[in-house]
A and B are shown apart, each in its own frame.
Chain A
Amino acid sequence: MSAMSPSERRLQKELMSLIKDPPPGVTVDAEQAEQNLLQWTIFMEGASGTLYEGERFQLQFKFSNKYPFDSPEVTFVGSNIPVHPHIYSNGHICLSILTDDWSPALSVQSVCLSIVSMLSSCKEKQRPHDNAFYVKTCSKNPKKTKWWYHDDSV
């Protein structure tokens, strides 16, 4: 407990505030996160009034010991991967704050909020155009992808 690294210390704080005051539709598997602060599972519900209403998704967050200077590795996991123009069928998410635009002032909560709003603003459920190619050729870690952020509107 006393020998917490700076990243674990910050993650512990984030976990506490996420448990206490989660964004709407977002829940964290607190037990799992407390056992291993470097890997969290987060459940996300599709917001009502959006194309994803009634759906439930599962996100995995992996943190390195350089967090928050290094961005978390965030992917959708489980059986229901949202069908969205910026989400690949393997769960990888094309979202600039997860790589190039990451900042240590961002948090698990702000990443969740970005993903919720990305889902909520979607007008047509479809996979990215290059889904088949990407899923076949990508690295397991989405942070190794050189993303081409071409569209911030969806």
Chain B
Amino acid sequence: MSTTSTSEEVKDNTSREDEGDAPNTKDEDKSNENLLECNICLDTAKDAVVSLCGHLFCWPCLHQWLETRPNRPVCPVCKAAISREKVVPLYGRGSKKQEDPRNKVPPRPAGQRTEPDNNFSGFGFGDGGFHMSFGIGAFPFGFFTSTFNFGEPRPNMPPHGTPQNMEEQFLSKVFLWLALIFIAWLLLA
């Protein structure tokens, strides 16, 4: 599905009359029609854009995906790097206004998907599939120890799936804030 060359798509485009939204999903037998389908919503692409890797999307669909994972903008189909600037809007012969679809965005509310572990902008770990809790070792209470467990498996438990412990996460955030307040107090005092 991803090996179609752009020139073929253009040729097919001229040979069939398709006005935007097909209201019905029933007559999709011709495999040719798939060529003009958005890779995200599976409808005929509206406000179509093509990535440099050749994959077709509705701009609103692609935009929502880019908003969903702003830190890792990749093509949904082939995982090539992708960006707003590097997609090409497509204008068919019939289109009245050649307005760049990227200028009239966002038509839909952006999908806000917060990654559960990534709330600390200052500590940019947590993305590579490991669990990290953070504490301050020098804090004047004995139980505030730092726990880092990335890279090395835990000694007695292979880290196949590490259940996310929300409480622990919450506590470590509380401790971090306490520590920051404490440090600020030290500096100001």
User: How near does chain A come to B19, taking the closest CB pair, in angstroms?
Assistant: 18
Chain A interface secondary structure, helix, strand, loop or mixed? loop
CB distance B113 to A70 under 8 Å?
Answer: yes
**Most chain A C-beta atoms within 10 Å of own C-beta, residue among B25, B41, B42:** B42
Which residue of chain A is the closest to B117 with respect to CB atoms?
A146
B43 within 8 A of A: yes
Q: Are A10 and B117 in contact (CB under 8 A)?
A: no
Interchain nearest-CB distance for B37 vs A (Å) = 9
Question: Is B42 touching A66 in the complex (CB atoms < 8 A)?
Answer: no
Stretch in contact with the other chain, from A31-39, A54-62, A114-122, A131-139: A131-139
Shortest C-beta distance, A63 to chain B (Å), equals: 14
B residues less than 8 Å from A103 (CB atoms): 74, 76-77, 79
How many interface residues does B have (CB within 8 Å)?
34
State whether A130 touches B158 (Cβ < 8 A).
yes
**Does residue A94 face the partner (Cβ distance < 8 Å to B)?**
yes
Size category, A interface: 35 or more
For residues 14 through 35 of chain B, which have their beta carbon under 8 Å from a beta carbon of chain A? 25-26, 28
Chain B contacts to A: CB under 8 angstroms = 25-26, 28, 39-43, 55, 61, 64-65, 68, 74, 76-77, 79, 108, 111, 113, 116-117, 129-131, 157-165
